[in-house]
């Protein structure tokens, strides 16, 4: 999936996503949650606080 496609799916531009991905901008909590929901993983997995991809719901 491209940065453009992911940005469009989550409601922001490719450039904004590129800033997040490169570390030039902090990812706001609401975007972090949207990314986790989109990929069906936990925020902890995205932040590398766990190696368990699956959500325990």
Tell me: the pLDDT tens digits for 29-52?
Answer: 999 999 999 999 999 999 999 998
Instruction: Return the pLDDT at 55.
Output: 67
Distances (CA, A) of 41 to 26, 30, 35, 50, 53: 19, 15, 8, 11, 5
Half-sphere exposure of 6 (CA within 13 A, CB side): 18
Please state, in angstroms and rounded to a whole number, the distance separating the CA atoms of residues 53 and 23. Answer: 22
The answer on pLDDT for 5 being more than 90 is yes
> What are the structure tokens assigned to 1, written together?
């999936």
Instruction: Return the pLDDT at 56.
Output: 63
For the whole model, what pTM was predicted?
A: 0.81
> What are the structure tokens assigned to 7, written together?
């940005």
The answer on pLDDT for 57 being more than 80 is no
Instruction: Return the pLDDT at 20.
Output: 93
Please state, in angstroms and rounded to a whole number, the distance separating the CA atoms of residues 43 and 29. Answer: 9
């Amino acid at each position: 999936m491209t940065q453009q496609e992911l940005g469009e799916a989550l409601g922001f531009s490719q450039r904004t996503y590129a800033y997040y991905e490169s570390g030039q901008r902090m990812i706001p909590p609401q975007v972090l949650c949207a990314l986790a929901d989109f990929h069906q993983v936990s925020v902890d997995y995205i932040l590398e606080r766990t190696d368990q991809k699956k959500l325990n719901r």
